[in-house]
A = this chain, B = another copy of it.
């Protein structure tokens, strides 16, 4: 696999099907790997231009659907069926369970608190005093800086500037509204223009476009205050009877689970607190063509379970720095556009799609926290993973189960999901016809 002067990947410029194929063949030759499935993509390879270089095809990630999820936000209102791309067994079922319970409880309330993105260049001044003067000048020059920054973009708006001194350096935090785009490239370009203008004013000898303060695709404490994407809260009140029916436990045990695992997070020096935001975010992001690396910042957030007066459960998630988009990046590509369409965030529904997606994402994460929490609080977690997940015997998971070996566990679990209906509503048993089944 090695030789003295290893060749470069062929300089094929084309994004046409043949170029992609030629490049893939070359890789197959060099590495000895057969790339049949990688070549079996359906999306138009020309659409990959600007999204990837040296394309050899596409990878396929299984996508499942979880729902119904009723969302009562300001941008997303209604019932959603959420696409989740994953290979972690039990994940979709787990989120589905939470969604069904939340929907049954009346849906998830969601609110968007902030919608910003930032770039934070750093300027180096001669000394402490000059740094102070520079910061004052920057803040006083907001309008001129804004004009420069916005001259590069039709969508981004510079909302405000914040200055953070570090000795003789000044980080200038540029905060933008970026519409439905994730917007990082847009705001980097705008900020760079503004910085160059500042240079022309002779106000600082040099700058660096990234100070590291922006915390794009990184976990950092500063994210807890927001400013990197959407700041969203989602919550729901779950009656004790519903908790028992869907999660086989009590609000008190949810609260106790929260207490004990918060202690563990504190001991671990965790940033924020949540059970598995990263799971739901990743699965949703892959499905919907998001920049998946943004999970690193988006997963920093705080979840809460508490028993309220009357003994019911209030559950919430707070996502201060959620990066989602419905235009740009991978959002327009084949499967991504289709998955966004499932959520009403594409095509004709695209306007305001990012805010809608943010609200759906927050509600989805709440479902995941509840379901994981329920599994742990009831002691069913290990058993559930036995039934669905990677713990299943390899023979069973890899073979096609015949009628002699019915995969009964999932069935039982689905039935559990349906059971609440009976136990709460005294309804008749769920009908056989899938399309007629309701929560």
Q: A217-B279, A270-B220, A295-B296 are in contact. Are A62 and B52 (CB under 8 A)?
A: yes
Which residues of B lie under 8 Å from residue A274 when comparing CB positions?
218
**How far is the CB of A213 from the nearest CB of chain B, in Å?**
4
Which residues of B lie under 8 Å from residue A61 when comparing CB positions?
58-59, 61, 286, 330
From A141-149, A243-251, A334-342, give the one contacting chain B. Answer: A334-342
**How far is the CB of A120 from the nearest CB of chain B, in Å?**
7
CB atoms of B113 and A165 under 8 A apart = yes
Q: A66-B54, A68-B7 are in contact. Are A164 and B47 (CB under 8 A)?
A: no
CB atoms of B212 and A33 under 8 A apart = no
Interface presence of A410 (CB below 8 A):
yes
Interface presence of A115 (CB below 8 A):
no
**How far is the CB of A77 from the nearest CB of chain B, in Å?**
7
A–B complex contacts, Cβ < 8 Å, 7 sampled = A6-B70, A53-B89, A111-B131, A166-B263, A188-B385, A189-B391, A278-B294
CB atoms of B211 and A264 under 8 A apart = yes
Majority DSSP secondary structure for residues of A touching B = mixed
In A297-313, the 8 Å CB interface with B consists of: 299-300, 302, 304, 306
**How far is the CB of A123 from the nearest CB of chain B, in Å?**
10
Interface presence of A326 (CB below 8 A):
no
CB atoms of A268 and B410 under 8 A apart = no
**Count of A residues near B, CB < 8 Å?**
211
Q: Which of B56, B58, B86, B87 contacts A60 (CB 8 A)?
A: B58
Which residues of B lie under 8 Å from residue A55 when comparing CB positions?
62-64
A86 nearest in chain B by CB position = B52
Interface presence of A26 (CB below 8 A):
yes
Interface string of A19-59 (1 = CB under 8 A from B): 00001001101111111111011110011111111111111
**How far is the CB of A80 from the nearest CB of chain B, in Å?**
7
A55 nearest in chain B by CB position = B64
Which residues of B lie under 8 Å from residue A6 when comparing CB positions?
67-68, 70, 79, 103, 438-439
- Cα A262 to Cα B81 with chains together (Å): 34
Interface presence of A271 (CB below 8 A):
yes
Interface string of A338-361 (1 = CB under 8 A from B): 110111101000000000000000
